[in-house]
Structure 1
Amino acid sequence: MYERKTGRNIIIFIIMLFIISRGIMLFEAYLGKNLFSNYVVPTEYVVIDYGTWQSNTMKLPDMIKDMKPLNLNDFNKFDAGWYLQIVEKGYDKYKMNEKHPPANWVFFPLYPLTVKAVHDVLPFMDYRLIGIMLSNIFFLIALVYLYKFCFEIRGFSKDTALKALFFLLIYPASLYFSIMYTEGLFLLLSVLTIYYTYKGKYFVALVAAALSAGTRIPGFINVFLLLSTMLYQERKRFNMRLLIKAALYGLIAGIPLFIYFWYLKGLTGDFLAAIHEEFNWGRSTTFPLAAYFNYFRYPYFNAPGGWDNGLISFVISTAVFLVYIGTFVYRYFEGKISFQDIIFFIYGLLLLVIPYSTAIFMTSIVRYMMVSVPVFVYIAEAASENKLINIFYTWLFLGLNTIYVIAFINNYFFVV
């Protein structure tokens, strides 16, 4: 009875953390919309006469009633617009061998299908509202399971487990967990894969991993975690049957992706249209982390087209890599690293590095990195043992989170 009550209290506390963090970001967005310049709309200036001198000043609302309220369109921008288009109109019907603008095939189907399914049940609700609602539900459930993983499996104290959630909630691009993007769903499926794999409930983990592969390209990394960890955990019963099971799981995990690619084959004439279309979006295969290391030679501020604030992306990437690799190395020399920990580390590192393999600049990298669950497990672990690390990452994330929210609401493209 006591454990059940404690668990219920923890869930209530997580819900409160979630509500407070989302509420703060909404308030920042509200102020950002009214008190800062919009990137794509010319700012209106007024001349203020001070008697002895005059000043051109940005026109700001004088009264609360003059403040512009937030609306759904404020959050339906960048990639959210592409998902809305898929939900409303389906996938683009071009043929791959004909000249066409960037097509929406690069956006995988599970999330828009989920939005569409809920709309079929609740047809009176706006697609945009459903997308936002689902993302927040997915994110909240992911937070609960991340806590369970940290506390039950990693053996963290309650405070340290909650700290992992705290850093995830204040991560600079955390806003994307709560809008019509795939981040919330992908994070949930990743956490479920991790949790149930470590619990030994491999088929449940398989379902989550397979669905994640139908959500975003890096979903195959969840399959890697499942199979490698399962083989390690079952190593004492290692035999041909286990190998056949692993191979069968690998095939099953590819079913959602196969179905999507087969659909694109009929639509576009190209089975790998979703992959090949990346080049039409200006992406090309590069050496992993090339964009990061190139920044040392070419420390840009804005990428061509203004799509990336290189300084912020570089700072966040560096901070994440330092704490991630540093914590692992420190634990290794302490002799506290098992082979299963190595698998977990490689899994998280792949989720950090893979996005860089098609990046010329660091556009979107900050957002891509935040679905690497091990990052926040390691940050929580390091921050709980070192006060300076705790202070540094708390204020770094909080400060840049505010910048990201204000930039997003005002259409600054570097936050995409």
Structure 2
Amino acid sequence: MSLTISPPGSNAERSRAYNRSLVLSHIQRSGPSGRAEIARASGLSIQAVSNIIADLVADGWLREAGKRTGGRGLPSVIYAIEAGAGLAFGVEIRPDAVLCALIDLQGRVVHTGRAALSSADPDHVVPEVRALYAQAVARTRVPASRILGAGVVLPGPFGETGLSGLSTELPDWEHDDPGALLSDALGLAVTVENDANAAAMAERLVGVATGLSTYAYVYFGTGIGLGFVSNGGLLRGAFGNAGEIGHMPVPAEGGVRPLEAVASRMALAARLRGSGQAAETVDDLDRLFTARHPALEAWLDVATPALGHAVHVLENLLDPETVIFGGALPPALLQHLTDSIQLSDASVANRADRQRPRLMAGATGRMSATLGAAALVIDQALTPSLTLPA
């Protein structure tokens, strides 16, 4: 079992902001907690925790959530995060649409929006993002002061690379700084991430990865990406492009092909078009899966072993607690894939003391990357920064 451990708090040397985040992150991970429990977990004194809690209650970040009895003495007051104390705006930019979500500190969705795109270049996207944000604020009547920031996710890779020019990426974004561009448009601090990493964080906030600290998330967008969370943090790579597993060579159809070419939603759509069947939405795919359309069945015959090979590599390379499949595929199809893949016995994940299945279907649905964009902001707000003042 792996644990996420933050450095202990300090009663004097470390900043007030760090210690506040330390208390908040404990309550987010562990649920409503008392002063003594937080003190033991954080390394702070009970008096320091009491002072921090008093500040957080006064500022509206924490609330009393009842009392806990047990042992000697009087029942202890327990504290929970006040979900509405802050909200985060998440934006997902796809080749054909912009999606948005406004969520609270517990991951509850307050508002969602969508705008179709005639073009995904920055000149078309930025005004749509600005309009979606204005709509979210107007419809929810949330004071701007309570919005902590915005997370923006795009398909990778970032920057000009040997993978540039592929059909899954966005046009004309490699020369711009998306964070600066969208921060100016929204008037908010903006965090930029790839869609697979963001979806992995959404799964941790409100999905099947809740309580996990090290896991691999295989994301089905247009292509296939990977978000890997290690000890509670994202593995991003030197340039933000870790996890481009769609280009991993896998055995398929008598040869070796990129995983994305045989097992992605893009590959599935191509097979369906070849049979004369259009499938533009997740609902279309759900209907065709329920009907066991022959082209979809043919895709499954190729995609299932290819994905099994990818899972085997991920397990032995990264040693995750579990591998999760999620993204823009119907839940029933994701579950079918996870149930059908033959997991190799020759894996470090094949062990008797497992607490979770080796392979799981995600629970955050088709908007996982959009929710993940907002979840990134929540994570930053509630997680102690390791960068401390001198």
Fold conserved between structures, TM > 0.5: no
**Which has a greater percent of strand?**
2
Taking structure 2 as the reference length, what is the TM-score of the superposition? Answer: 0.24
**Which has a greater percent of helix?**
1
- Larger relative contact order (CA 8 Å, sep ≥ 6): 1
